[in-house]
Amino acid sequence: MTQGFKKLVLMSALLAALVVSLGAYTRLSNAGLGCPDWPGCYGFLTVPNEAHELKSAQQKFPGSEVHQKKAWIEMVHRYFAGGLGLVVAAIFILALRHPSHNKGIKGLSALLVALIVFQALLGMWTVTMNLQPLIVMGHLLGGFTILSLLTLLWLKACKPPAVTIAHLSGLRVIALSVLVVLIIQIALGGWLAANYAAPHCRGLPLCENGELFSLSSLFQLPHSSASYEFGVLPFETRLSIHLVHRVWAMVTLIAILFLCWRLYVRIPDLSVKPVILLPAILVLCQVLLGGAIVHWQFPLLLTLFHNVMAALLLLSMVRVCYLLFYQSRG
């Protein structure tokens, strides 16, 4: 495995992390419809600024008003996402051309290219379907998936630590189960954000009005609307979405702490103790951060950091699972 390939994969993973963060900022700053078309902005490659450009934008999109700040937030996200696509394409070409890359590296590179294409389509549908919540949540999960797979590709490209662990099958099952629990929690967070449900529950640990969630309302999908910006679901449904996200956060906390405890006891190698403990530290910080966000009434920067922490927590779990599954081939 060439050093140049490893550096390119690492760069792409860092770029993916930036794209995910920019996507979260775009969503949280209500800039998802800053540009009503795709991939350009009001028919231009940059945000229209000159008088003739603004006039053209008004003619092409008579129902929209150019909001410079929101439009630039959206376009910067698109520029970096486009750059990520080019880097992933370069990784795929290098993986195919270099004889030292095994089938796993090549297959993962091909999968990433396919996901980037699908993610671009989701980005387009997010705009053309006016922030339809299912599409918005899918776009968020797509970004997290690409970031996770790039991290996995980087781990495969690097030599993992040699660790001796006996009777791994049970630990692998637990680790994969916990990873699924975490993915569900991230999806619930995406569904909460896509439906603008965060402000509908302001108390701790329950909502201010003391209401509990309604199971029947959880299965209510958004009705057809000209625009889904700021949400269209009724108050009770959005409150339920928020509370379920909180309840599952406790399930996720317990699951990750249990996994980390089991691994810490079973793996004596001190060199991987930080890898084992990191998910436990991150999930504790994430729960505390969620409480702080509610307490301080959903400040944008704290909420953005909550999204970034979710990505870091997912990557730490991917690292743990890779550590366990690598041993099956060792």
Assess whether 211 carries a catalytic annotation. Answer: no
Share of the chain above pLDDT 70, in %: 91
Query: What letter represents residue 215's amino acid?
Result: L
Q: What is the dihedral of CA 123, 128, 133, 135, to 10 degrees?
A: -40
pLDDT digits (tens, 9 = 90+) for 1-57: 578 889 999 999 999 999 999 999 999 999 999 999 999 999 999 999 999 999 999
Query: Which residues of 66-189 form beta strands (DSSP E)?
Result: none
Mean pLDDT, the chain, as a whole number? 90
Give the three-class secondary structure for 41: strand
CA distance 151 to 149: 5
Report yes or no on whether pTM surpasses 0.75. yes
Query: Which residues of 177-279 form beta strands (DSSP E)?
Result: none
pLDDT digits (tens, 9 = 90+) for 280-302: 999 999 999 999 999 999 999 99
DSSP character at residue 271: G
pLDDT digits (tens, 9 = 90+) for 204-256: 887 776 666 666 566 667 878 778 999 999 888 898 899 999 999 999 999 99
Annotated domain spans of the chain: 1-159, 166-329
Query: What letter represents residue 70's amino acid?
Result: K
- The residue annotated as part of the active site, out of 74, 211, 229, 236, is 74
Answer for the pair 64, 127: CB distance below 8 angstroms, yes or no.
Answer: no
